[in-house]
Structure 1
Amino acid sequence: MGAAPRYEDNEIKASALELIGNTPIVALDRLYEGPGRILAKCEYMNPGGSIKCRSSLHMIQTARQTGVLKPGKPVLEVTSGNQGCGLAVVCAVLGHPLTLTMSKGNSVQRALHMEALGATCVRVPQVEGSYGKVTLADVQAAEEEGLRIVDKTGAFLVNQFHNDANSQSHYESTGPEIWRQTGGHVDAFVATVGTAGTFTGTSRFLKEKNSELQCYVVEPEGSEPIKGMPITKPCHLLQGSGYGAVPSLFKFEYMDDTISVTDEEAVEYKRLLGEREGLYVGYTSGANVAAAVKLLRSGKLKPDAWVVTMLNDTGLKYTPAPEELTKA
């Protein structure tokens, strides 16, 4: 009887961890006909349904490698949902009990997803937002509950908003993938900011490759602290981004400018991505594409510029906005 085949001898993946990253880039040529071109990285194809799988894997692996997280020990994180889903994938495979605290304003689909992967999700009452619209105060309430649980259980706190391994994951994976997949043909990068891990890590890599490459932050209109504007609309549809404060991981040296997007624009381009491109994604993805269209139409780039942006997560993580339900 011969030896069992090795994974490297075929196309079988050893675990869900090997499904993270190396997502394809798709041209949005039906949604935007030019001049220029929008290329979108399909992060919803990660096993946890979002870009956060990348940072989840890197943050947990780094903690294990440095010894601050021992095998089998419990993990805790404060999340808007996507980081929690990514961590649930990683902790399920690596054998870490996982508890997540999340505002009740974040879509319940995310809690169901995390718990289906074996995690415990503690949903924390909102302070000032409403369902589907989460403010900084709501996040802080979820954080307070998380810290209380850490004090009680001794769980390892991932701390995504302050964990350098978050942005490093995108410097080591997302940026290099974009550069390779486009053959180095990138004129601008556009991304929403939550923890700032994606923007900082990816922009840092791309600018090291081409110092002329332009990087733009996408912020929800009325909640634009990176632009330096007063917060007039803390409640918006872009769950997981635009919290009304500049994240500690954000680095201004990698940003060329900001682009504001309204809730209505995010909803419209979310719809167009589905109806014209066959891609069912979330509101931040819609905002990213709306911002990319604005940028190409602004005249700030050369006419044949290629703009890369992110499709951050699947639309299956959301309850439709009221304006979408009325159209159904």
Structure 2
Amino acid sequence: MAVDGIDNEIKSSALDLIGNTPIVALDRIHPGPGRILAKCEFMNPGASIKCRSSLHMIRKAREDGLLEPGQPVVERTSGNQGCGLAVVCSVLEHPLIVTMSKGNSVQRAIHMEALGAKCVRVPQVEGTYGSVTNADVQALEEVCTKIVEDNKAFYVNQFSNTRNSEAHYLTTGPEIWRQTGQHVDVFLAAVGTAGTFAGTSKYLKEKNPKLLAFVVEPAGSEPIKGEPITKPMHLLQGSGYGVVPDLFDYDHMDGTVSITDEEAVKYMNLLGTKEGLYLGYTSGANVAAAMKLLESGKVPKDAWIVTTLNDSGLKYTPVPEELTK
């Protein structure tokens, strides 16, 4: 028997846990002037922002007749998209096979397989463990193609699937606008597939044409800025692959911010010790970029900067010792 009010608090599945993440003020790292506000995407059931696009891409594929009930799903991933897809596919009963570089954290493979997915780890072409290059990502494509053919599977193709960025236009952007009381001066995000940045910045700029949107790139791997690639290997897994992503749109960008591994680690550690949040490298990079902007004079000193805390620190191997000194 239903109890009045109780049913409204009970979620029907893990899919209902995706999105509507809270925003937290990072006032201990930056007490002002201005404010850094961060969307807590690590609180999604797959522990990353990729749960949003995973749910949207799979739902739309089913609605469009591209994915039949029970049909296998295949994707190449740095780990987070695979974890998000594993959440969605387990609930919707689709077998999931993902390819992931051996350079990505093994913790991600463990996570996906715990949710019922099969993770095929592909040897690196030029990177090292913890640093994955575009060549490593491209090596996944050939393996993926064969798996799709052998299993008559649906290939998600997050790097070119416009439903990826659409997920953030429909959810992340509107949530930020509502949660901040329609007060967003700056939005910034690290870019991998560019889905988060493209969809969120498009929505927020429609609401506030004066809003400034910045891309966060690893120092030495800044193709969006137009710089030659001098450091293809860096710690920001899932971003900075050295190419301009298919989903990226310069129309919604006002500039870029370069972040070193050391800066990302510094703010990742500060998020833990000052804000009580154990997060990954791109989260540290996003907050480091927000601090840089506030100190640079490129944005008003009293600006409210919104960014994303992309994933849990539990998805990573410990920080290299030389970067913590």
Q: Taking structure 2 as the reference length, what is the TM-score of the superposition?
A: 0.98
Match of 1:137 in 2: 135
| Separation of aligned partners in 2, 1:7 and 1:77 | 40
For 1:10-49, what aligned pairs fall within 5 Å after superposition? 10-49=8-47
> 1:246-293 deviations in whole A, cap 9, x for unaligned?
000000000000000000000000000000000000000000000000
Match of 1:197 among 188, 195, 205: 195
| Separation of aligned partners in 2, 1:325 and 1:11 | 44
Query: Which sections of structure 2, spanning at least 5 residues, go unmatched?
Result: none
Amino acid at match of 2:118: T
Query: Which sections of structure 1, spanning at least 5 residues, go unmatched?
Result: none
| Separation of aligned partners in 1, 2:219 and 2:39 | 24
> 1:116-166 deviations in whole A, cap 9, x for unaligned?
000000000000000000000000111211111112211100000000100
SS at match of 1:67: coil
User: Is the aligned partner of 1:75 residue 2:83?
Assistant: no
Task: Compute the displacement of 1:7 (Å).
Answer: 9.1
Match of 1:227 in 2: 225
Match of 1:240 in 2: 238
Range moving further from structure 2, 166-175 or 8-17: 8-17
| Separation of aligned partners in 1, 2:321 and 2:114 | 29
Match of 1:66 in 2: 64
Match of 1:118 among 66, 91, 116: 116
Residues 7 and 13 of structure 1 are in contact (CA less than 8 Å); yes or no, is this contact kept in structure 2?
A: no
Match of 2:92 in 1: 94
Range moving further from structure 2, 52-61 or 136-145: 136-145
SS at match of 1:29: coil
Task: Compute the displacement of 1:230 (Å).
Answer: 0.4
Match of 1:304 among 271, 280, 302: 302
Amino acid at match of 2:310: N
> 1:80-117 deviations in whole A, cap 9, x for unaligned?
00000000000000000000000000000000000000
| Separation of aligned partners in 1, 2:2 and 2:306 | 43
Match of 2:321 in 1: 323
User: Is the aligned partner of 1:206 residue 2:204?
Assistant: yes
| Separation of aligned partners in 1, 2:182 and 2:48 | 24
| Separation of aligned partners in 2, 1:240 and 1:265 | 17
Q: Sort the Cα spacing of 1:16 and 1:208 in 2 relative to 1 into closer, same or farther, 3 A.
A: same
Match of 2:179 in 1: 181
Amino acid at match of 2:320: P
Match of 2:48 in 1: 50
> 1:56-96 deviations in whole A, cap 9, x for unaligned?
00000000000000011000000000000000000000000
Residues 204 and 211 of structure 2 are in contact (CA less than 8 Å); yes or no, is this contact kept in structure 1?
A: yes
Task: Compute the displacement of 1:4 (Å).
Answer: 4.9
Q: Sort the Cα spacing of 1:6 and 1:156 in 2 relative to 1 into closer, same or farther, 3 A.
A: farther
Residues 262 and 323 of structure 2 are in contact (CA less than 8 Å); yes or no, is this contact kept in structure 1?
A: no
| Separation of aligned partners in 2, 1:162 and 1:6 | 45
Match of 2:262 in 1: 264
Matched length: 325
Task: Compute the displacement of 1:223 (Å).
Answer: 0.2
User: Is the aligned partner of 1:162 residue 2:165?
Assistant: no
Residues 265 and 324 of structure 2 are in contact (CA less than 8 Å); yes or no, is this contact kept in structure 1?
A: no
Amino acid at match of 1:18: D
Residues 79 and 100 of structure 2 are in contact (CA less than 8 Å); yes or no, is this contact kept in structure 1?
A: yes
Q: Taking structure 1 as the reference length, what is the TM-score of the superposition?
A: 0.97
Task: Compute the displacement of 1:325 (Å).
Answer: 8.6
Range moving further from structure 2, 145-154 or 236-245: 145-154
Residues 7 and 14 of structure 1 are in contact (CA less than 8 Å); yes or no, is this contact kept in structure 2?
A: no
| Runs of 4+ with >4 A deviation | 3-8, 324-327
